[in-house]
Amino acid sequence: MTLREWDERSTAAARGLPGPLRGERVALVFGGRDWLDYAVSWMAVLKTGGVAVPLPDRAAPPEQAYMIEHCGAAAVVHGRGALREPPAGPAVIAFEELLRRPGAPP
């Protein structure tokens, strides 16, 4: 991925995030094979003024739910299979869906 592609994809992803997120935490749950999607998501959160919070994909579902609640995440973005049980509360968005969602520019 080139720097330009990273910028363009992260801008598109930022438009798909629920907003406003300025100052809000967004949990990112990705596996090791999805590192490009993770990098795009990370930059997307920063472009909205949010705070990216990386969380482990290998944690058990109750541990993931606890970490998401404990960090006060307003939203969760996840990669393929990284989030086994969506938590109650914050908006939960699969990375692929994030790129397809309409939204306002960051």
- 33: domain CATH number is 3.40.50.980
Say how many domains are in the chain: 1
pTM: 0.89
Specify if 106 maps to a domain. Answer: no
Residue 30: domain span: 3-100
Mean pLDDT within 47-55: 96
Position 104 pLDDT exceeds 70: no
Mean pLDDT within 6-29: 92
Contacts of 79 (CB under 8 A, 6+ apart): 29, 30, 31, 34, 37, 38, 57, 94, 95
d(CA 86, CA 89): 9
Mean pLDDT within 74-86: 89
Q: What pLDDT was estimated at residue 22?
A: 92
